[in-house]
Structure 1
Amino acid sequence: MEKDYYSMGTTADRTQAADQRKFMIWVYRWMFLGLVMTSLVAWVVFSNKNWLAYITQSSGLFFGIIIAELIVVFVLSFNIMKMSVTTAISMFLFYSVLNGVVVSSVVAVYTAASVGYALFIAALMFGIMSVYGYFTKSDLTRMGNLLSMGLIGLLIAFVVNMIWFNSTVYWVISFLGVLIFVGLTAYDTQRLKQIGEMSGSLDNNYMKIGVMGALTLYLDFINIFFLLLGMSGKRS
């Protein structure tokens, strides 16, 4: 009888681990596809000098795209469970396309070497911290709460510095921003892993939650890249 109980426990653990892996694979799959979509759109726009010039010289269009991105994130964040899985994925990919346009105009300011360096370091940082968040036994909840509050303060400081620009303050904000998003990568990964443990099976609801998880990790990576590029990039 003891052996039967042990076998049942082992089977349950294996089933839970399998469900968790399916959920995390779903999350990383869409995060990766989102980054690929962003990269392709950025490359297409960057390769077309007329498009690039129009976007960079039209501040109204650029900020319109930024506002559209914020609207997409807002709609996904507050209405994700009311959508179908297809709609959630479509909106995430639409966001990736919009962000590709933004990325093209940002990287155009810097040398190719600077962009490549920032991309490599961002990928390395993100990968290390995501692996740490997945495998660590420490509870990162408290750290996540502190980082979230730090992010709010960082956004306020960034807006203020846009008005009264100071290069030293910008560098400090960027450095702190990298630390915050690197920490959030670990926290978000652990949180998603915990969600995966409770999923039971990868049904429609957990697929939609996984799309939001993909967007969260996508934003962590993109912000690390942008901040590193702003700190260390050489202008072309």
Structure 2
Amino acid sequence: MSDWNDTQRSGQAFGSVPRAGGDVASRATYDEGLRSYMLSIYNYMASGVLLTGIVAILFSMGGMESPAAWLAINGGLLFWAVKLAPLAFILAMSFGLHKMSQTTLQIVFWSFATVMGMSLSTIFLVYTGESIAVTFFATAGAFAGLSLWAYTTKKDISGWGSFLIMGVIGLIIASVVNIFLQSEAMAFVISGIGVLVFAGLTAWDTQRLKNDYQHLRGSPFMGKAVIMGATSLYLDFVNMFMFLLQFLGSRE
């Protein structure tokens, strides 16, 4: 993290007069590297979201005659394979991170974004295109605001992590239970909590990634860290979008 008060690294506190031009040059180099690192993450993340959206739209074209509709109605095991495939990609990226080359990890990331598009294509059969677009831009605005706040704030939010992870686990359990209960009220509560949890994760992940740069700069692992960081923010965005769609989406 860019810590202006780290006297061990900079040799001076924030607001004091630099003793030498080298301190200023070092600070500028560090900040430039941090910006480049974060922009690389955001570029990967945004490209992944764009690819997912394009695949989802193409897969749903044709309405009830589309590949998405065929999968939903006749897919059977294939339908569930497509739905669960993104989880398999995430597990492969997490557990195979140190064994994969950076190029392989990139291929897995783009494959993951593509399969996610196939998995999410069914929302076009349930919600109107206009409401999906409105929800997408609302999510993009919220994501940008939360991420910018987390990047610029001096407040340490690292303590949110354990609470938010427990929230994700709770959401998964509640969602599985509601598959059997089919309760609209419970689904509404789950969606509300889901929006809050992934909004929090967006901010937490942003600050975590910013903090990580201090330890990663100059490391050969930097390229992989960018891809994994983009994957984290991608998941925050997509999940916040899906939960928000429960509130803003208009059904066909």
TM-score by length of 1: 0.93
Q: Distance in 1 between matches of 2:216 and 2:33?
A: 7
Partner of 2:34: 20
For 1:166, the aligned partner's letter is S
Q: CA-to-partner distance for each residue in 1:71-106, whole Å, 9 max, x for gaps?
A: 110010122122111111110110000011112112
Q: Distance in 2 between matches of 1:197 and 1:83?
A: 23
For 2:146, the aligned partner's letter is M
> In the superposition, relative to structure 1, how do residues 208 and 36 fare at CA in structure 2: closer, same or farther (>3 Å)?
same
Match among 228, 234, 243 for residue 212 of structure 1: 228
1:178 aligns with 2:195: yes
Match among 205, 229, 233 for residue 245 of structure 2: 229
| 8 A contact 1:20–1:199 mirrored in 2 | no
Partner of 2:182: 165
> Percent identity of the aligned residues?
34
Partner of 1:109: 126
Query: In structure 2, the residue corresponding to 1:186 is in which secondary structure?
Result: helix
Query: In structure 1, the residue corresponding to 2:126 is in which secondary structure?
Result: coil
> In the superposition, relative to structure 1, how do residues 122 and 85 fare at CA in structure 2: closer, same or farther (>3 Å)?
same
For 1:220, the aligned partner's letter is D
Q: What's the offset of the Cα at 1:5?
A: 4.7
- Residue correspondences, number: 233
Query: In structure 2, the residue corresponding to 1:82 is in which secondary structure?
Result: coil
| 8 A contact 1:17–1:197 mirrored in 2 | no
Q: What's the offset of the Cα at 1:4?
A: 8.6
For 1:127, the aligned partner's letter is A
Q: Distance in 2 between matches of 1:162 and 1:25?
A: 39
Structural RMSD (CA): 1.6
Unmatched segments (≥5 aa) in structure 1: none
Q: Distance in 2 between matches of 1:229 and 1:95?
A: 22
Structure holding more helix per residue: 1
Q: CA-to-partner distance for each residue in 1:46-73, whole Å, 9 max, x for gaps?
A: 1143312212212422210122211110
Unmatched segments (≥5 aa) in structure 2: 1-16
Query: In structure 2, the residue corresponding to 1:80 is in which secondary structure?
Result: coil
1:62 aligns with 2:76: no
1:36 aligns with 2:50: yes
Q: Distance in 2 between matches of 1:194 and 1:158?
A: 32
Q: Distance in 1 between matches of 2:203 and 2:18?
A: 37
Q: Distance in 1 between matches of 2:198 and 2:33?
A: 27
